[in-house]
Amino acid sequence: MDLIIKNGTVITAKDTFKADIGVRDGKIEVITRSLDQMEAKQIIDATGNYVLPGALDAHTHLEMPFGGTVSSDSYEAGTRAAACGGTTTVFDFVIQGKGQGLVEAVEGRRALCEPQACVDYSFHTAITDLTPAVLKEFKQAVDYGINSFKVFMVYKKEGLMVDDGVMVRAMIRAKEVGARVSVHAENPDVIDMNIENFLKEGKTHAWYHYLSRPEYAEAEADKRAIHWAKSFNVPLYIVHLACKEGMDEVTRARQEGYDVIAETCPQYLYFTNEVYKREDGRNFVCSPPIKGPESQNALWDGIKRGDISIVATDHCPFQSYEKDWGKDDFTKIPNGCMGVENMYPYMLSEANRGRISFNKAVEVCSTNVAQLFGCAPQKGTIAPGSDADLVIYDPEKTYVISKDNMHSDVDYTIWEGVELKGYPVMTFSRGKLVYDNGNFVGEKGWGEFVKRTPLT
């Protein structure tokens, strides 16, 4: 064997059991009660620790041009941080340029990512120019390994928004080719009206970012997207769901038997809209904004019920000097927060504190992502034949998040001072140790493209 992990408690989305794991050529070869008689190049004693599948972050924006700048984690920095937080695959968003083909757009980003990636990666495409040729090309994109197409219901001035006709056409075509459309759901016109009024009144603090796009601005768009998904009986994935009304609508649609899936993010589960009143409130500016406690509770309840299927980060950080552009005008703050290194440790800490089970944390951060986006059982579980993407987790470790113990390139973290119960101590990517007790020990260029299969 290349690697044996002994004496750990293995936790998957379904089971918890004591076992030894043998790894050869990057794959899990055997899981058994004892591998004491077996030799290996590397043997790790995981006594007292848990062994989990690596997380898959279904939502990142690495070195993405946005908000008048470029998000500040490169593919190298973002995937390095991912490894150090137990995330072994990231799904990054490729924004289609006007007039550009989808596969062409993905290949451009893939060329940028490949020499830098420290963990494995896949892409979603974001559609901005849905010509008949692009609709036809959905099939080629699926054959290439991309089975998810995103549309923005906002960001009109930024040139990213699509109308409902485009959204519905994309949804119908996606279903035909074994793919799924995801939506960023907020109502652009009401948000623009609110912004105009606040600016006229001289209301420019980050708190007005929240007030310009509060619960109702997201809820209407969540409901509209679900309305179209139901009307045409097509699959839908709502990214970064953050409000109670949207959560209720997702739950209703699922109870009625529709293929509506929702993702939320750790920032919506830990913080509330109160953060926007803080002096550094601009650092928390993301869209949709973090909502009030009622919404936060609804999201946690949704996770427990199974109506939130995925927790992902929407990792899209900007340096503090860039966030400072909006010190006196919230509309100038580049939108996005960090989280790629925090998601799995935070969700596991909540499990360790008893809010959810460890199996549930594994399910929403890892297994469901692989299953719903076509890369299971290669990813997202601990089973013979699966990639040896493994995290060793010490449930007794206390960890206080600080900019100084993070591994991205950003000069602050919104998670500063947050105390976690338990923390990953080692991460393996296809059997290779990439994180070891506080240190990144992997290498750039190690990460591989994950070709996903069509959805059924």
Instruction: List, as one string, the DSSP characters of 109-136.
Output: HHHHHTTT-SSEEEEEEE-S---HHHHH
Nearer to ligand URP, 186 or 249 (CB): 186
Candidates 57, 218, 249, 314: give the one binding Zn ion (CB under 5 A): 314
Coil, helix or strand at residue 304? helix
| 316 is a site residue for ligand URP (CB under 6 A) | yes
**Residue for token pair 């379904």:** 14
Report 42-61 residues binding ligand URP (CB under 6 A).
61
Phi-psi sector, 385: left (phi>0), alpha (psi -120 to 50), beta: left
Nearer to Zn ion, 291 or 430 (CB): 291
Please compute Rg for the chain using Cα positions: 21
Coil, helix or strand at residue 196? helix
| 335 is a site residue for ligand URP (CB under 6 A) | yes
| 314 is a site residue for ligand URP (CB under 6 A) | yes
Nearer to Zn ion, 57 or 387 (CB): 57
| 73 is a site residue for ligand URP (CB under 6 A) | no
| 184 is a site residue for ligand URP (CB under 6 A) | yes
Smallest gap from Cβ 59 to ligand URP, in A, equals: 7
| 342 is a site residue for ligand URP (CB under 6 A) | no
Smallest gap from Cβ 318 to ligand URP, in A, equals: 9
Among Zn ion, ligand URP, none, what does residue 323 contact (CB within 5–8 Å per kind)?
A: none
CB 185 within 8 A of CB 221: yes
CB 401 within 8 A of CB 415: yes
Distance CA 81, CA 351 (A): 22
Q: Which of 64, 115, 118 is nearest to 87 (CA)?
A: 118
Nearer to ligand URP, 94 or 316 (CB): 316
Cα dihedral angle (50, 51, 57, 58), rounded to 10 degrees?
A: -110
Strands (E), 35-177: 42-45, 50-53, 55-60, 65-66, 69-70, 87-95, 120-126, 148-152
Nearer to ligand URP, 213 or 407 (CB): 213
| 315 is a site residue for Zn ion (CB under 5 A) | no
Candidates 116, 128, 287, 378: give the one binding ligand URP (CB under 6 A): 287
Smallest gap from Cβ 404 to ligand URP, in A, equals: 25
Smallest gap from Cβ 346 to ligand URP, in A, equals: 18
Q: Which of 182, 299, 184, 287 is nearest to 243 (CA)?
A: 299
CB 127 within 8 A of CB 149: yes
| 275 is a site residue for ligand URP (CB under 6 A) | no
Nearer to ligand URP, 220 or 363 (CB): 220
| 312 is a site residue for ligand URP (CB under 6 A) | no
How is residue 405 annotated by DSSP?
A: G
| 317 is a site residue for ligand URP (CB under 6 A) | no
Candidates 127, 130, 185, 286: give the one binding ligand URP (CB under 6 A): 286
| 452 is a site residue for ligand URP (CB under 6 A) | no
Among Zn ion, ligand URP, none, what does residue 181 contact (CB within 5–8 Å per kind)?
A: none
Candidates 184, 282, 360, 407: give the one binding Zn ion (CB under 5 A): 184
Coil, helix or strand at residue 6? strand
Residue 161: both structure tokens together = 């928004």
Among ligand URP, Zn ion, none, what does residue 335 contact (CB within 5–8 Å per kind)?
A: ligand URP
How is residue 428 annotated by DSSP?
A: E
| 125 is a site residue for ligand URP (CB under 6 A) | no
Distance CA 396, CA 316 (A): 31
Residue 212: both structure tokens together = 């310009």
Smallest gap from Cβ 104 to Zn ion, in A, equals: 22
Smallest gap from Cβ 184 to ligand URP, in A, equals: 5
Q: Which run of H or E residues covers position 417?
A: none
How is residue 67 annotated by DSSP?
A: T
CB 102 within 8 A of CB 141: yes
Q: What angle do CA 228, 258, 243 make, to 5 degrees?
A: 70
Smallest gap from Cβ 287 to ligand URP, in A, equals: 4
> Could you tell me how many residues of this chain bind ligand URP (CB under 6 A)?
8
| 20 is a site residue for Zn ion (CB under 5 A) | no
Q: Which of 213, 237, 355 is nearest to 290 (CA)?
A: 213
| 336 is a site residue for ligand URP (CB under 6 A) | yes
What character string, x for contact with ligand URP (CB under 6 A) and - otherwise, covers 21-40? --------------------
Piece of 10-18, 180-188, 253-261, 276-284 that binds Zn ion (CB under 5 A): 180-188
CB 190 within 8 A of CB 220: yes
Q: Which residues bind ligand URP (CB under 6 A)?
A: 61, 184, 286-287, 314, 316, 335-336
Q: Which residues bind Zn ion (CB under 5 A)?
A: 184, 314
